[in-house]
Amino acid sequence: MSDRFITVYEVGPRDGLQNEATVIPTADKIALINMLSETGLSKIETTSFVSPKWVPQMGDAVDVMQSIKRYKNVTYAALVPNLKGLDAAIKADVDEVAIFGSASESFSQKNINCSIAESFERFKPVAKKAIAQGVKLRGYVSCVVACPYEGSIAPQAVLDVANALFDMGCYEVSLGDTIGIATEADVARLLDTVTPHISGSLFAGHFHDTKGNALENVQTSLPYGMRTFDSAIGGLGGCPYAPGAKGNVSTVPLVEMLHSAGWETGLNIEKLYEAQALISLWSLGGHD
């Protein structure tokens, strides 16, 4: 692979749609994922196997995962918060799962109903079983700069959670600016703390775009060796447990910015526009 290659990790079908208050028909989700599979993406976060009481929008995870057309060069991933989610995901033939922790105690409680320490105990058997079953394991750290409930988060707290996730066997940890307010200085401060201990190439950037800084934050991350960025088609989404947060950086502008700066993504921009046009036909209102 060229050293100018960036992996764009599409999270729209999960991070994007989870925040929609109106339940989107399963067939529409499947049509979107099938279209995304034709764009050259190698990673698509397809759904999440979480409690439907907590996130009703993802209540059709089994159906979605089992009904999409599988393209052999695409990894279809899903979030799993616990063993119940992992077992359902494996049964539905998931390729990759993500455990999702937080650098903020309050967000951990609100999002997954346990403390950070308890989340590690919950994730350990999930990680062990996923790896034993040959399912790739990714990790997330949420609130890497700020938390919607407790404000600023210390970079050291992020490093501690990232270390725990790598110790459990994650091949990559995605750093989530959950509320999308990070500035370039915030990102630099975070990466100055974290990357002396863990190579930047093992991290992905997951920048929500509430303040419109996400593209700059991607650019700030590149010199630290980060080569994977999460994005959502059409800039969909947010998190139901991060009120006011907007979607991830939008896939098309991200890819256009990367291409114009001489990076390769392997993505077909015309086909990405077609997928973006599909969701523009849906009536989406977000959560707030």
**Which residues 6+ apart lie within 8 Å of 185 measured at CB?**
none
Query: Strand runs (DSSP E) across the chain, as ranges?
Result: 7-10, 43-48, 75-79, 96-102, 136-142, 146-147, 151-152, 172-177, 203-207, 228-231
Please, which of residues 66-105 interact with ligand HMG by CB under 6 A? Answer: 79, 81-82, 84-85, 100
Task: By CB under 6 A, tell whether 44 contacts ligand HMG.
Answer: no
Task: By CB under 6 A, tell whether 186 contacts ligand HMG.
Answer: no
Q: Which is nearer to ligand HMG, 264 or 288 (CB)?
A: 288
How many Cβ atoms are within 10 Å of 52's Cβ, its own excluded? Answer: 12
Site string for Mg ion, 140-159 (x = CB under 5 A): --------------------
- Are 284 and 25 within 8 A, CB to CB? no
Candidates 143, 147, 170, 239; catalytic one = 239
Three-state secondary structure along 77-89? EEECCCHHHHHHH
Torsion of CA 64, 66, 7, 80, to 10 degrees: 70
Among 36, 50, 159, 275, contact with ligand HMG (rule: CB under 6 A): 50
Task: By CB under 6 A, tell whether 142 contacts ligand HMG.
Answer: yes
Residue nearest to ligand HMG (CB): 176
Instruction: Mark residue 282 as left, alpha or beta (left: phi above 0; alpha: psi -120 to 50; beta: remaining).
Output: beta
In the list Mg ion, ligand HMG, none, the entry touching 112 (Cβ below 5 to 8 angstroms by class) is ligand HMG
Among 29, 136, 138, 206, contact with ligand HMG (rule: CB under 6 A): 206
Of 109-117, 148-156, 157-165, 277-285, which part binds ligand HMG (CB under 6 A)? 109-117
Task: By CB under 5 A, tell whether 172 contacts Mg ion.
Answer: no
Tell me the sheet residues that pair with 139: 99, 173
**Amino acid at position 155, single letter:** P
**Which residues 6+ apart lie within 8 Å of 41 measured at CB?**
8, 10, 74, 267
Please, which of residues 7-46 interact with Mg ion by CB under 5 A? Answer: 15
143 annotated active-site = no
Task: By CB under 6 A, tell whether 111 contacts ligand HMG.
Answer: yes
Binding site for Mg ion (CB under 5 A): 15
Binding site for ligand HMG (CB under 6 A): 15, 18, 48-55, 79, 81-82, 84-85, 100, 111-113, 140, 142, 176, 178, 206, 208, 239, 241
| Residues noted as catalytic | 239
